[in-house]
Amino acid sequence: MRASVIARLIILGSIAILSTLFIQFYIIRQQQNVEERAFRDKAITALSKVAKRLAKNNDLQSYTNLIKHPQSNYFLVNINDHINVNTLDYYLKTEFQNVGLKENYEFGIYDCERDSMVYHNAVSYEANQRNIRPGNKLPTYKDYLYYFGVRFPERQANPFYAYTWASLGLLMLTLLFFAYSLWIILKQRTLAEMQKDFIDNLTHEFKTPLAAVSISSDVLLQSELIQEHPRLKQYAQIIKNQNQLLNTQVERVLQVARMEKTNFHIIRELVDIHEIIIDLVSSMEPRVKAKAGDIQTNLQAMAPVIYADRIHFIHIIQNILDNAIKYSIDPGMKIQLDTYDEAGQMIIKCMDQGPGIPKEYIKKIFSRFYRVPTGNVHNVKGFGLGLHYVYQICKAHGWKIRIESTVGVGTSLYIEIPKQQS
């Protein structure tokens, strides 16, 4: 993933989360304000009517001085006379019911001579809580001589309710998790780039000594002195063969490294896959014969000319055949490479008689560096890059690839090429 893509991801993700945080905060605050205003209006309307009914004459203070609202859930009502508890209780229940305010409440009556609430009672609208005990004493307000106070204990003193903080806290945790995830992504990206650069540089450095060893082995094999000594000739041939094997593995690593670069792309051209398959089978036939094996083809596809990247197509067929040869260990092995048409697509099938792949490993077989576990036996060399490369090239072309395998019988690999690409 490029740095510009990660930067855009960070910016857009941060904007999205912060915008969500702000919008949710704003909506909750607005909703709470509406609810609080509706509750306050109902409470003030009911308490004003209670005050008027308690008053012995109509000479009341103005509306603004009649009711004080020191807290969001606490109201004080100024009455210029003594208050009868039973009458107040009745009026409160009646007026609250008239305005549709059915919330549990506490009320108390202030006595200026004692400077305290002389009566404190709680009222519940829940059937199983008719006789509930009042909570803490109601606060006093010394500017009035006779008044009563009503508190709604189930409403927070702060209108910013607990669930608001919980919601905002959850969003903050999401933001922190997003930041932590981005930090992990950046760290992994740095490590991945270091790993790819190291592998790329290492494999390039291998090319020079491998080329020197290849030239040297060829010179040794062509020397008359070496030809006269079978043992020296055998050693020179071993050097050449092992050098070719190492060069093949290095080339695969380079192919994967180039494939994972951001500038990787395929160049499509008309390719005759039958012609390529015949050439590759012919070049690999000596390796198969050396194992007393046989490699056969059955090329039945009606339209073998397709649009594909020639170089990459050659490489994937090489990798498929190389795997089939390597894993067909038993003498007398048989490898079958077929092409045929099926349901609007052309199929390339490679079947070997190797040890097979257990079912639980088939889904992982195309992963980079993955090799099927074989315990302490390592008689097949490789880095686990061949099939990963084949999978990536098929994916880049829009082809499907799948494997069918039976342990102890062999493995069949299928490449499905849509007809419209031909």
Summarised one tens digit per residue, pLDDT across range 94-129 is 988 898 888 888 888 887 777 777 777 788 876 554
Q: Cα(319)–Cα(337) distance, rounded to whole angstroms?
A: 13
The CATH number that applies at residue 365 is 3.30.565.10
pLDDT score at 286: 80
On whether both 7 and 127 belong to a single domain, the answer is yes
Q: Is residue 171 part of a domain?
A: no
Residue burial 37-67, b: 16+ Cβ < 10 Å; e: rest: eebeebbbbbbbbbbeebeeeeebeeeeebb
Mean pLDDT of 58-81: 71
pLDDT score at 354: 82
On whether both 251 and 284 belong to a single domain, the answer is no
On whether both 279 and 395 belong to a single domain, the answer is yes
Q: Is residue 181 part of a domain?
A: no
> What pLDDT digit, counting tens, does each position of 282-339 carry?
888 887 887 778 889 999 999 899 999 888 898 889 888 888 888 776 677 788 999 9
Residue with tokens 């069949």: 412
Q: Cα(60)–Cα(65) distance, rounded to whole angstroms?
A: 9
Domain boundary, last residue among 259, 278, 294: 259
pLDDT score at 374: 59
> What pLDDT digit, counting tens, does each position of 148-174 carry?
889 888 776 454 555 566 666 777 787
Q: Is residue 331 part of a domain?
A: yes
Residue with tokens 């992504």: 185
pLDDT score at 416: 93
For 107, half-sphere exposure in the C-beta direction (CA atoms, 13 angstrom radius) is 25
Q: Cα(218)–Cα(141) distance, rounded to whole angstroms?
A: 108
pLDDT level of residue 231 (50, 70, 90 thresholds): confident
Instruction: Pick the more confident residue, 160 or 192.
Output: 192
pLDDT score at 204: 65
Q: Cα(347)–Cα(362) distance, rounded to whole angstroms?
A: 20
Mean pLDDT of 73-86: 83
Residue with tokens 């004003």: 48
Q: Is residue 141 part of a domain?
A: yes
pLDDT level of residue 349 (50, 70, 90 thresholds): very high
pLDDT level of residue 218 (50, 70, 90 thresholds): confident
| Residue 51 pLDDT greater than 60, yes or no | yes
Mean pLDDT of 250-274: 73
pLDDT score at 58: 47
> From the CB of residue 297, how many other CB atoms can be counted at a distance below 10 Å?
16
Q: Is residue 46 part of a domain?
A: yes
Instruction: Pick the more confident residue, 200 or 350.
Output: 350
pLDDT level of residue 13 (50, 70, 90 thresholds): confident
On whether both 106 and 215 belong to a single domain, the answer is no
Among 200, 198, 240, 241, smallest CA distance to 218 is for 240
Q: Is residue 179 part of a domain?
A: no
Run of H or E including 359: helix 359-362
Helix, strand, coil share of the chain (percent; to 5): 50, 20, 30
Q: Is residue 176 part of a domain?
A: no
Measured in whole angstroms, the distance separating CA 341 from the mean position of its chain's CA atoms is 39
Instruction: Pick the more confident residue, 226 or 21.
Output: 226
Of 9-18, 79-88, 257-266, give the lowest mean pLDDT range. Answer: 257-266
pLDDT score at 56: 63
On whether both 7 and 66 belong to a single domain, the answer is yes
Owning domain of residue 243: 187-259
- % the chain with pLDDT above 90: 11
pLDDT score at 85: 85
Domain boundary, last residue among 259, 280, 300: 259
Mean pLDDT of 10-17: 75
On whether both 305 and 340 belong to a single domain, the answer is yes
pLDDT level of residue 64 (50, 70, 90 thresholds): very low
Residue 143 CB contacts under 8 Å (≥ 6 apart), including other chains? none
The stretches of 291-422 forming alpha helices (DSSP H) are 310-327, 359-362, 386-397
> From the CB of residue 401, how many other CB atoms can be counted at a distance below 10 Å?
19
Q: What are phi and psi of 385, to 5 degrees?
A: -110, -20
pLDDT score at 298: 93
Q: Which long-range contacts (CB under 8 A, 24 or more apart) does 363-367 make?
A: 365/403, 366/390, 366/391, 366/401
On whether both 111 and 195 belong to a single domain, the answer is no
pLDDT score at 369: 67
On whether both 144 and 202 belong to a single domain, the answer is no
Domain boundary, last residue among 259, 293, 320: 259
On whether both 118 and 30 belong to a single domain, the answer is yes
Number of structural domains in the chain: 3
Handedness of CA 394, 395, 397, 402 (dihedral sign): positive
pLDDT level of residue 344 (50, 70, 90 thresholds): confident
| Residue 422 pLDDT greater than 70, yes or no | no
> From the CB of residue 287, how many other CB atoms can be counted at a distance below 10 Å?
14
Contact of 382 with 249, CB cutoff 8 Å = yes
- Could you tell me the two tokens for 228? 């006269």
On whether both 49 and 119 belong to a single domain, the answer is yes
pLDDT level of residue 280 (50, 70, 90 thresholds): confident
The stretches of 228-346 forming alpha helices (DSSP H) are 230-259, 273-290, 310-327
Q: Cα(387)–Cα(370) distance, rounded to whole angstroms?
A: 9
Mean of the per-residue pLDDT values of the chain? 78
On whether both 230 and 273 belong to a single domain, the answer is no
In single-letter form, the type of residue at position 30 comes to Q
Of 74-78, 187-191, 227-231, give the lowest mean pLDDT range. Answer: 187-191
pLDDT score at 378: 45
Among 296, 288, 408, smallest CA distance to 350 is for 296
On whether both 192 and 323 belong to a single domain, the answer is no
Q: Is residue 159 part of a domain?
A: no
Q: Cα(168)–Cα(271) distance, rounded to whole angstroms?
A: 60
Residue with tokens 């889904």: 363
Q: Cα(181)–Cα(356) distance, rounded to whole angstroms?
A: 40
pLDDT score at 63: 45
Q: Cα(330)–Cα(99) distance, rounded to whole angstroms?
A: 93
pLDDT level of residue 224 (50, 70, 90 thresholds): confident
